[in-house]
Homo-oligomer: A and B are copies of this chain.
Amino acid sequence: MSMVITDINRVPETIIKEYAGLGVATVHEAQGRKGLLSSILRPIYRPVLIAGTAITCEVTPGDNWMIHVAVEQCQPGDVLVVSPTSACSDGYFGDLLATSLKARGVKGLIIDAGVRDIAALTRMQFPVWSSSISATGTVKESLANVNSPMVCAGVLIYPGDLIVADDDGVVVVSKGEAESVLQKSRAREANEEDKRQRFEKGELGLDVYKMRQRLAAKGLGYEKAGSED
């Protein structure tokens, strides 16, 4: 039987706000290189950067009925995450659904399937990450679950988890770790800013990261190119 779980717990809005400006690569590194969705998910326009709380929505192949069900579960600040029960590249989502989500304050869509009306979605500046772009329509015949734990693009997502998405891709942070990952992300950013300034001045990573000794220990050799080169 298919179920819709209502009244889910979400990462608090106060934490989400603090994620503003933090990119996917930073967050992914800060949480120990986990939670990154497959890079087959690409944004339909760039640049783009969002952070919000996941509403999870399963769909059956070629059938977008459950997206309509999921919309009702969305609150301002949510990100709708859609995954088909078997691989499908049809266009599950277009400008009407985007209009509805935008009206509800939803920050964007993550879908391991196709979307359409991307010219309109781009004009509306409604952020979408999808695994394909296709005008193929879908039917409304089969049920599936909303707000159950769900694998999307290779990663397990619980409803209410934090989603961060930008030009590089999409990463999920679990509810229980959203605060600690935030601190680590900021620390990482501060550290990177320091490195960036040193690189701008021409310092080498070999020195900044003190790699020379370890490279030599591993056996790296240097040799001048021969004159015959």
Q: Which of B8, B141, B169 contacts A225 (CB 8 A)?
A: B8
Given contacts A61-B88, A68-B211, A220-B4, contact A205 B117 (CB under 8 A): no
In contact, B68 and A223 (Cβ under 8 angstroms): no
Which of B5, B65, B85 contacts A33, CB < 8 Å? B85
A96 interface residue (CB < 8 Å to B): yes
Q: How large is the interface on A (under 10, 10 to 19, 20 to 34, 35 or more residues)?
A: 35 or more
Check: A171 CB closer than 8 A to any chain B CB: yes
A168-B87 in contact (CB<8A): no
Whether the pair A168, B204 counts as a contact (CB closer than 8 A) is: no
Q: Is B119's CB under 8 angstroms from A46's CB?
A: yes
When the two chains form their complex, are residues A6 and B201 in contact, meaning their CB atoms are under 8 A apart? no
Compute how far the CA of A142 lies from the CA of B215 in the bound complex, rounded to whole angstroms.
Answer: 9
Q: Which of A12-20, A154-162, A178-186 contacts B (4 or more CB under 8 A)?
A: A154-162
Are B2 and A219 in contact (CB-based, < 8 A)? yes
A156 with B151, Cβ < 8 A, contacts A25-B94, A94-B25 known: yes
Q: Across the interface, do B28 and A137 meet the contact criterion of CB distance under 8 Å?
A: yes
Within 8 A of B (CB), among A53-97: 60-63, 65, 68-69, 71-72, 85-91, 94-97
**A-B pairs with beta carbons under 8 Å apart, 25 shown:** A25-B116, A25-B135, A28-B137, A39-B114, A39-B133, A61-B90, A68-B204, A68-B206, A68-B209, A69-B220, A71-B204, A71-B205, A71-B206, A72-B204, A87-B89, A88-B88, A91-B168, A96-B196, A103-B202, A116-B168, A118-B167, A143-B218, A147-B225, A151-B155, A151-B156
Given pairs A6-B224, A103-B199, A143-B215, 12 additional interface contacts (CB within 8 A): A5-B224, A24-B135, A25-B94, A25-B135, A28-B135, A36-B86, A39-B89, A39-B133, A47-B119, A49-B119, A69-B206, A72-B206
